[in-house]
Structure 1
Amino acid sequence: MNRGEARRDRILAAALLEFAENGYRGASLARIAERVELSQAGLLHHFKSKERLLVAVLDYRDELDASKFDMTSAGGIDALRALVGVVEHNARMPGLVQLFSVISGEAVTPDHPGHEWARRRYRRLRADMAAALRRGVERGEFRADLDAEAHADRLIAMMDGLQTQWLIDPDRVDMAAVFRGYVDDLIALLRPPM
């Protein structure tokens, strides 16, 4: 990694923390610049606006997840177990989960700079999960009559809902254990009859 890439990664990591702590609207470019020992003008040299920085941070967060968990080639039970791994990983990364939750909540309004990112992300996730479930059907792991899209929607809803509950009450909600149990139940439900 060259010096410019290293600085870019430092800026993205600092911005990720700032957005996670304060949301998009409350985040300050001056505080982000201070965290990485740059002037605000220096920060804007790398990212021309707060909107561009946010989108870069969101893409950076997705790249971090993708580097650990490849959902595009996994299928069937392996894909569902990989999702459990994602949730277990997220349970160790509350700042990332908070960023996702805050930005996703803010991005429901069409004028938010993260709105299109969120739409593309959910469409991609639904498609990837549905494809993974269909690969499970092709492998004979799951019933042929499963509705892959509906189950993909439910998996995403379960993950996002658990994240919110866990962020609000981490002492009472064991996000990883609840999701692991949900996946175990889902695998049992989707298996073909013997």
Structure 2
Amino acid sequence: MERARQRGPYAKTAARRADIVRAARDSFAEHGYAGASLRDIAKRAGITHAGLLHHFQNKDELLTAVLAHRDDEEWERSFGEVEGQGSPQRYLAETLRQHQKTPELMRLWAELAASASRPDHPAHTSFVERNARVRSRTSEAMRERAAEGRLPEGLDPDSAAALFLAVLHGLQMQWLLNQDLDIITPLYRFFDLILLSADGQSSEGAS
């Protein structure tokens, strides 16, 4: 009975924090990190400024929470798990399409990624750790494909992972500068170059 009574406040706290993180994400996207204010975020979340400070001490903490939430959404399925539901090519193409529906968030992410390269930036540690985690996960997926004979001769898994991430991020940056660009077809074409099918031929392509 005691445990059951405790669940209510904890559940409400988690839900409130989630509301605040969503509000912070929207405020950061609209105003940028520097232009967003805690009062604006509190208003979007439907709480007072003091109420927000009960959950997050400052904007730096909120930024870290927003980045962590994005990671949870984007990387909850590993590269290998995706293949059980459909090809990684199609999954990543759909991910790009979803990103294109919220260009303001894509822009915020691009701006933060560049700014966070500075050691004194509040998100520096989060971005360094995320980059290492994503790079490691992608390299592992490429090693699995190399073991299956699905990487072109002469292309090692770590290089394939670095190229893949560079292309994925670069395509999104190009689209932010010109939103008429087709970035899905080039993504498939890149997969054709670095991934082979089980019989050693080019990957499936955009069909």
TM-score by length of 1: 0.84
Tell me the CA shift for residue 107 of structure 1: 0.8
The 5 A counterparts of 1:1-194 are 2-67=11-76, 69-71=77-79, 73=81, 78-143=87-152, 145-171=154-180, 173-188=181-196, 192=200
Secondary structure in 2 aligned to 1:142? coil
Tell me the CA shift for residue 80 of structure 1: 4.7
Q: Is 95-104 or 82-91 further displaced after alignment?
A: 82-91
8 A Cα contact 1:17 1:99, kept in partner: no
Matched length:
191
Tell me the CA shift for residue 17 of structure 1: 1.4
Q: Which residue does 2:3 correspond to in 1?
A: none
Tell me the CA shift for residue 192 of structure 1: 4.3
Tell me the CA shift for residue 52 of structure 1: 0.8
CA separation of 1:184 and 1:89: change in aligned 2, threshold 3 A: farther
Q: How big is each residue's C-alpha offset from its partner over 1:108-130, in whole Å with a ceiling of 9 and x where there is no partner?
A: 21111111111111111111111
Tell me the CA shift for residue 160 of structure 1: 1.3
CA separation of 1:144 and 1:180: change in aligned 2, threshold 3 A: closer
8 A Cα contact 1:79 1:132, kept in partner: no
Tell me the CA shift for residue 152 of structure 1: 1.1
8 A Cα contact 2:89 2:188, kept in partner: no
CA distance in 1, matches of 2:184, 2:153: 28
Secondary structure in 2 aligned to 1:152? helix
CA distance in 1, matches of 2:150, 2:82: 13
Q: How big is each residue's C-alpha offset from its partner over 1:38-83, in whole Å with a ceiling of 9 and x where there is no partner?
A: 221111111111111110110001111124x4326457x9445543
Q: Is 11-20 or 77-86 further displaced after alignment?
A: 77-86
Percent of aligned pairs with the same residue? 33
Q: Which letter does structure 1 place at the counterpart of 2:145?
A: G
8 A Cα contact 1:108 1:115, kept in partner: yes
CA distance in 2, matches of 1:58, 1:138: 33
CA distance in 2, matches of 1:127, 1:179: 21
8 A Cα contact 2:103 2:176, kept in partner: yes
CA distance in 1, matches of 2:99, 2:112: 16
Tell me the CA shift for residue 145 of structure 1: 4.3
8 A Cα contact 1:10 1:36, kept in partner: yes
Unaligned runs of 5+ in 1: none
Q: Which letter does structure 2 place at the counterpart of 1:32?
A: I
